Amino acid sequence: MSAGTPLLQVDDIVVDYRPRRGRTGGPPAVDHVSLDIPRGRTLGLVGQSGCGKSSLARVIAGLAAPTGGTIRLGGAELPAPRGRTDATRIQMVFQDPGSALNPMHTVRRTLTELLLVHRRAAGRSAATDRAVELLELVGLGAAVLDARPRGLSGGQRQRVGIARALAVEPEVLIADEAVSALDVSVQAAVLNTLRDLGARLDLTMLFISHDLAVTRYVADEVAVMHRGRIVERGLPDDVLRNPRHEYTRSLVAATPRMDGPALSAPEEARPV
Amino acid sequence: MSPLLRITDLVLETGPAAAPVRPVSHVGFEVAHGEAFGLVGESGSGKSLTLRAVIGLLPEGVRQAGGTLELERDGAMRPYRFAEVRGRGIGMVFQEPMTALNPTMRVGDLVTAGPRARYGWSRRAARSRAVDLLAEVGMPDPKAQARMWPHQLSGGLRQRVMIAMALATEPSVLLCDEPTTALDVAVQDQILRLLHRIRTERGLSIVFVTHDLGVVRRLCDRVAVMYAGQVVETGRVEEVFTRPTHPYSAGLLRSMPTQDTPRDRPLAAIPGGQPGAGDRPEGCRFAPRCGHALPACAGLAHVLAAVPGSPSRSACIRVADLGGPPLDREALLSPLPGGTA
Amino acid sequence: MALAPAQVLGRRRVRRDPGATGTAALVTGAVLLALLLAASFVSGALTGHDPALTDLTARFRPPSPQHWFGTDQLGRDVFARVLVAAGTDLPLALLGAAVPAVIGIVLGALAGYARGWIGTAVMRLADLIQAFPSYILLIVLVFLLGPGAGSFLVGAAVGAWVTYARLVRGVVLRLRELDYVRAAQAAGLGHTRVLLRHVLPNALPQAVVYAASDIVLALSYLAALSYLGLGIQAPGIEWGQMIADGQPFLRNQWWVSVMPGLAIILVGVAVRLIAGGLERRLQR
């Protein structure tokens, strides 16, 4: 990773949904997590559902206030709740193509609303021009401007979701399971787009997924989250080839290898 | 190995009878005794509908408009009626264990409810049978878990309960509809291992529907790849996965990131999307997205033919030109409009 | 790689408007109501009778070509009166459904989106009001305020907003967890904007469908009030009042009560058509 101050510094974040009194039982959803991402790099965050990765994402995106900890962007702490300008600096691409877009709004309206509210464009026609640029950036074009979400395929909707996140020119993009709901062949195209955008726009990305193979492909570095904590962090291939934490090992074992062995010996682990 | 389940020329229709739409057209496959057969495809390919048709559980508005379904009984393949095989010959495991388990019944009662009603088992006999079955599917504490409610169990354990329910009817074929899709990777792996063990121990056959090629690779002996309501390629898993004989299977395989995918190159995505049931092109349905397509492909009848030099069967007429080591899409790009973007 | 959007779009099936049949029902219902309302303004010309003209020589005439719906105990033409009453009943029924709907939608949306003490206050108030049977609440309020159209509207609004508030709050609670609402918040859009542009429009369809079917309920409230003498007072003409007036003669001069009753049923059918049509059109 490059030297210098990381663009995004997440320090000692705790998210605890349990009532304030008598915090008993398991650990908090996010348990003292610290992360940092240098400018222009992509950090992959891998873990199973319920490990706290989405809670962490929402805190970083400013959608929820943490129980404790700080988030710094470019060295300065982001307040919670964030003001209108700070809110645009970290944007998110969501998982479910079915609910990520307002079903009543056309693509044009979805994009131009943000551009106009945040004065990224002067007037409607300038906003539309910019919307088309954004759509072309994510591999779509003016042809989808007047479509509503139900007229788009899952892959197209995810692309519009990416365009929407980019509309306010964020410094950090969080992709929370952004390709998980897509079919393999469509997923590949969206992954290519995300990677391509990262390089072209020098985007700093937090790529969150349950899929180690997918994460490995997009990320410069991988962090593994388990029960609210980061249990391992390293270069993707190092983590895959030489997993140190027990949980990472089970994850690697379950990640497909096309040339790997089929199941022959019926070995079974203890169920969880 | 001798065949146990045979599906021939299955046609499923929906919409008005005068102008029906066919989500599944002329699908056929055969599953041998003790074999794990994968039915793989992307959403909308018709794989789940095909599986549901096998046991007659089609969703409202979809009807079987053709085809024969046969099961081996007493050494001969015979067409069956659904009532004959539901709850005895053919068992089914669903994707969503939360909604597929009745929340008002204890786990032990759920598992044996079917056979208990059918064979009039006593409560005591049913309970002890349930505990045996829960132990067989690897529940860590079957006696205690038999007394639990479904919501008290984790997703993985619920899926085990559903498998135990299916096994309680002593089926010879287990139909699995994406049973691991809703589960976390590590749990998914455990369920696959469980299915593999049960199949080995009981000698039963599995038909496994999934969109996940990795899962097919781990569990199945043979596979049929479905695209737009048709089987485009079928063969032994290791053959299809290493030497695909249809451009769609090849594209699907290459678009999936694995542990070994080179990170310095873009993933090989297939351009465009799968056509919906109502607007499928004439001839080869994959042709508009295919880098190998010739003008002739648009007029082609769908036939799954033997492939020279391969044990697989393929619907692609260009299969001879696809052969050899990994396809080089860039070199084969055709000038066909819509083929590339 | 880049998808060529025109191609991809072109290949997707252009779905037929799923509301095609919904539209037919919607239009039929609306036309029925509009015709009824229009007829109320020209009832005299249409029937050739003055709805207020009493003629004691022509009492209790059965339906005939001369008097299509017969005449009542004062010899007034029932058809003319049924039509004129539509001019009172329909606007009141529409308002009686719309006023509580608007109040309930606003309060419910606030309660669902803001939660906190606003949400708690709204829902406690709702609980309080629902503790009273709706008819009793209406009758008591109208009794206190004095009979008349205004009292009816106040009474209907106080009792009926609760259902809308609960309905909309439930939908908003669900919608506010959806990713597109989160995305709008994450992009720094203000709460008012998110609520008005992204949450409420998606919560409205269900409330609107409900309000359409509530028109009949409002009509029956009004009729019930008139029946009790707490509704529209003479010389105003109203269906419930007509039914009540004709009730003593129901055995032999059935038409005096039954004809206005049929008018209420006709409105009910029209409103069902509208509600059903709306539901089919708005569901996605």
Q: Tell me if A110 is assigned to some domain.
A: yes
Structural domain containing residue A65:
1-16+28-89+172-255
CATH number at residue C234: 1.10.3720.10
Q: Tell me if A245 is assigned to some domain.
A: yes
- Whether residue C188 and residue A99 make contact (CB cut-off 8 A), yes or no, is no
Structural domain containing residue C135:
32-282
- Give me chain C's average pLDDT, please: 85
Residues A250 and A115 in one domain: no
Residues A38 and A130 in one domain: no
At B303-339, the pLDDT tens digits run 898 888 888 999 998 887 775 443 433 333 333 333 3
Q: Which of C7, C8, C13 sits opposite B278 (nearest CB)?
A: C13
- B288 CB neighbours in chain A (<8 A) are none
DSSP letter at C77 equals: B
First to last CA, chain C: 32
C-alpha separations of B124 from A167, B111, B117, B132, B144 in Å:
65, 14, 14, 13, 15
Residues A185 and A149 in one domain: no
Residues A82 and A106 in one domain: no
- Whether residue B238 and residue A257 make contact (CB cut-off 8 A), yes or no, is no
- C186 part of contact set with chain B, CB < 8 Å: no
Report the C-alpha gap between B214 and B258 in whole angstroms.
Answer: 9
Please give, rounded to a whole number of angstroms, the shortest distance from the CA of C8 to a CA of chain B.
6
**How many domains does chain A fold into?**
2
- Whether residue A100 and residue C179 make contact (CB cut-off 8 A), yes or no, is yes
CATH number at residue A11: 3.40.50.300
CB pairs under 8 A between A and B: 140
Residues A160 and A217 in one domain: no
C-alpha separations of C216 from B184, C81, C137 in Å:
51, 20, 18
Structure tokens at B106: 């204890």
Residues A230 and A187 in one domain: yes
Percent of chain C having pLDDT more than 70?
Answer: 92
pLDDT at C55: 86
- Residues in chain B predicted with pLDDT less than 50, given as ranges, are 324-341
- Whether residue C13 and residue B276 make contact (CB cut-off 8 A), yes or no, is yes
At C244-269, the pLDDT tens digits run 888 889 888 999 999 999 999 999 99
At C136-171, the pLDDT tens digits run 888 888 889 988 888 999 988 998 999 999 999 999
Q: Which of B266, B269, B272 sits opposite C11 (nearest CB)?
A: B272
Q: Tell me if C227 is assigned to some domain.
A: yes
pLDDT at A49: 82
Please report all neighbours of A, defined by 3+ CB atom pairs within 8 A.
Answer: B, C
Q: Tell me if C182 is assigned to some domain.
A: yes
Residue with tokens 């593999």: B196
**How many domains does chain C fold into?**
1
Q: Which of C2, C9, C193 sits opposite A139 (nearest CB)?
A: C2
Strand A204-209 relative to strand A68-73, pairing: unpaired
pLDDT at A4: 64
Please give, rounded to a whole number of angstroms, the shortest distance from the CA of C112 to a CA of chain A.
17
Q: Tell me if A95 is assigned to some domain.
A: no
Residues A177 and A165 in one domain: no
Least reliable range by pLDDT among A198-212, C22-36, C219-233 = C219-233
Closest chain A residue by Cα to residue C177: A99
- Reduced to 3 states (helix: H, G, I; strand: E, B; else coil), residue A75 is coil
Q: Tell me if A128 is assigned to some domain.
A: yes
Residues A47 and A113 in one domain: no
Residues A247 and A122 in one domain: no
- Asked if residue B319 lies in contact with residue B294, where contact means CB atoms within 8 angstroms, the answer is no
Q: Tell me if A115 is assigned to some domain.
A: yes
At C108-139, the pLDDT tens digits run 999 999 878 888 999 999 999 988 888 888 88
Nearest residue to A33 (alpha-carbon basis) of A1, A70, A64: A70
Interface of A with B in 175-194 (CB under 8 A): 183-189, 191-192
Q: Tell me if C113 is assigned to some domain.
A: yes
Q: Tell me if A126 is assigned to some domain.
A: yes
Which among B184, B220, B265 is the top mutation candidate for probing chain A, defined by the most A β-carbons within 10 Å of its own β-carbon? Answer: B184
Please give, rounded to a whole number of angstroms, the shortest distance from the CA of B212 to a CA of chain C.
23
Q: What is the pLDDT along chain A (272 residues), one digit of tens a residue?
A: 445 679 999 999 999 887 766 666 678 899 999 999 999 999 999 998 889 999 999 999 999 899 999 999 999 999 878 888 899 999 999 988 889 999 999 999 999 999 999 989 989 999 999 999 999 999 898 999 999 998 898 889 999 999 999 999 999 999 999 998 888 888 999 999 999 999 899 999 999 999 999 999 999 999 999 999 999 999 999 998 999 999 999 888 877 665 555 544 334 444 43
Please give, rounded to a whole number of angstroms, the shortest distance from the CA of A213 to a CA of chain C.
20
Please give, rounded to a whole number of angstroms, the shortest distance from the CA of B299 to a CA of chain C.
18
pLDDT at C95: 93
Q: Name the strand (E) or helix (H) holding A231.
A: strand A229-234
